[in-house]
Structure 1
């Protein structure tokens, strides 16, 4: 892979992160619950000073540390790229939330539209990251580390981890604020719909990928994000 191709891939990866964060922000602004990976930071942001982006960065750091403890010497050097990727992801999270300050849907149909826009953007962002194929974000790398350690199926492990994050977010709301915060029907809709849209768009993105990286023959490492 040439230096030009490498830089192009990292640029596309950053674009993918930005689109993903825009999607999460639209879903969050809908007020029907956020995505499973963002549910814990979102729940904590209701009662503490750090923003959802900062809490996302703290959570990413914890997930990276757990990966190091689980994989030890098998922790790939490339996985250290999760650190700058996490910083970008968290910063874009706060940026996109601020850009959507004006978005305050009140009617349920308005909330559903915001949710659906967010799901579409999330799916586009996921496919863009997959196309770049440079690094896994901590949420997915964490699931992969658990799957490798326990010798379990990645997809089933992901569902279990997403469920765990959602339950923890619910418990945080109940214990700290005496109500469920950060999760709702939108969390379930996003979890089911984003994956469907990702699969639908996958073939379209293969065409785009072939256009951008026709001369690149690197091996793929699948990324699965909500």
Structure 2
């Protein structure tokens, strides 16, 4: 239930940032750009992207890779489907000027942080975005938070390269992506500090 709540909030946040047009979170930046280059929706590209990340986990971990990691596909498919659903549901929002777009982007980051908070505290199946960071952390013997920053930064760089060469500009990767990268983690920590009893309650239910 906790993971489902997290997936729902994260998907809503990605859909809102997608519609705002100022860039999505780092993990969704590549699917967002590719969706602008192809007939595929951002949700469909997200599903394919998650499969690619799991395959990368296999290459990185090799013999240490657990086939149970393929369970990451379950929340990934649900996540992708929810993104497309919310993108349709929220399409009515009047995001026709920069102020509205920026406001929607900031709201999406706040919602995304809550989603990540629930995902992390569900203590169940990792999403592939966290799975690849965990794999790199194990292989390089580095701390997960440091590696997660590296992985997010790498995804943004790849998205920028795709946008520049495929769309001839920073389309799909903009200030919203930077804001999300800078703010989301801090908000998750803030939520955790503000709701210690609720966090404990979530752990007990996990």
Q: What TM-score comes out, normalization by structure 2 length?
A: 0.92
Quote the residue 1:26 is aligned against: 16
Quote the residue 2:138 is aligned against: 148
Quote the residue 2:85 is aligned against: 95
More helix by share: 2
Quote the residue 1:7 is aligned against: none
Conserved in 2, the CA contact under 8 Å of 1:43 and 1:172?
A: yes
Conserved in 2, the CA contact under 8 Å of 1:169 and 1:181?
A: no
For structure 2, the residue ranges without an aligned partner over 5 or more in a row are: none
Specify the structure having the higher radius of gyration (Cα).
1
Q: Where in structure 2 are the equivalents of 1:101-116 lying within 5 Å?
A: 101-116=91-106
Q: Deviations over 1:137-183 (max 9, x none)?
A: 00111011011112223222222221211111111122122222211
Alignment of 1:161 with 2:151, yes or no, is yes
**Separation in 2 of the partners of 1:78 and 1:87?**
16
Conserved in 2, the CA contact under 8 Å of 1:32 and 1:111?
A: yes
CA gap 1:212/1:37 in 2 versus in 1, 3 angstroms: closer
CA gap 1:169/1:212 in 2 versus in 1, 3 angstroms: closer
For structure 1, the residue ranges without an aligned partner over 5 or more in a row are: 1-10, 219-226
Q: RMSD between aligned alpha carbons?
A: 1.8
Shift of 1:74: 1.9
Matched pairs, number: 206
Shift of 1:115: 1.2
